């Protein structure tokens, strides 16, 4: 996380290092640093050099960049790949600028980081299966498409539930494809929703 400067991923740079969520426009927020840390910590065993990662609701791009540092190995070694999916086009555009400002323009150019505009509930099967999936907004129930795109072994970190009763959930898939679900702790995330254009 020290390799990623949060000041490049917020709207108001003065508050960049506060341990709070911050508005990033369009009624969305960048998560607090401690939540990003929780997510990265729980996924850490699945984030080695060469791993494939899906970041759903990638928002500011902050955690996408953290994942990139964790999976991009040494010169000449296996190169990881991080796919971020975000459905608000202005945030997609802004997050790419953030990632460039943070010094990772080359990773965007060579495809080690890809930010896709789309419905994250459907994932991105083309880039999968993923060793780790992070979901940065809460759906009411576990999306089956994301479970399907998880590698075995693989792990997903996802807040699940309606506003007011969300729980961070770990979904583990083993090498035989068996899925195990574990509830971790209560949280308050923005909802994983229909795209703003669908809502009219």
Contacts with ligand SAH by CB under 6 A lie at 28-31, 57-60, 62-63, 85-88, 91, 119-121, 136-137, 190, 192-193
Q: How far is the CB of 39 from ligand SAH (least distance, A)?
A: 8
Sequence-distant (6+) residues with CB within 8 A of 79 are 50, 72, 73, 112
Q: How far is the CB of 113 from ligand SAH (least distance, A)?
A: 14
The CA distances from residue 20 to 54, 91, 126, in Å, are 24, 19, 34
Q: Two tokens at 170?
A: 């770990």
Q: How far is the CB of 188 from ligand SAH (least distance, A)?
A: 12
Q: Closest CB to ligand SAH among 126 and 175?
A: 126
- State the Cα angle at 124 between 119 and 128, rounded to 5°: 160
What letter does residue 43 receive in the DSSP assignment? H
Render the burial of 70-84: b for 16+ CB within 10 Å, e for the rest: bbbeeeeeeebbbbb
Q: Cα 164 to the chain's mean position, in Å?
A: 22
Q: Closest CB to ligand SAH among 86 and 131?
A: 86
Q: How far apart are CA 51 and CA 6, in angstroms?
A: 23
Which sequence positions are flagged as catalytic? Answer: 31
Q: How far is the CB of 35 from ligand SAH (least distance, A)?
A: 8
């Amino acid at each position: 996380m020290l390799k990623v400067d949060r000041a490049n991923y917020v709207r108001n740079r003065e508050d960049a290092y506060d341990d709070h969520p911050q508005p990033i426009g369009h009624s969305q927020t960048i998560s607090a640093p401690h939540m990003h840390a929780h997510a990265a910590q729980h996924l850490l065993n699945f984030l080695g050099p060469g791993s494939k990662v899906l970041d759903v609701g990638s928002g500011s791009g902050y955690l996408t960049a953290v994942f990139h540092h964790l999976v991009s190995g040494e010169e000449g070694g296996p190169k990881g790949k991080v796919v971020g999916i975000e459905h608000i086009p202005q945030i997609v555009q802004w997050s790419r600028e953030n990632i460039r400002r943070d010094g990772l323009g080359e990773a965007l150019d060579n495809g080690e980081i890809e930010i896709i505009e789309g419905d994250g509930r459907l994932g991105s099967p083309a880039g999968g299966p993923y060793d780790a999936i992070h979901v940065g907004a809460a759906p009411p129930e576990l999306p089956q498409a994301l479970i399907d795109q998880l590698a075995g072994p693989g792990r997903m970190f996802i807040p699940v539930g309606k506003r007011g009763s969300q729980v961070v959930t770990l979904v583990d898939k083993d090498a035989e494809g068996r899925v195990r679900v574990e509830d971790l702790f209560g949280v308050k995330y923005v909802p994983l929703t229909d795209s703003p254009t669908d809502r009219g």
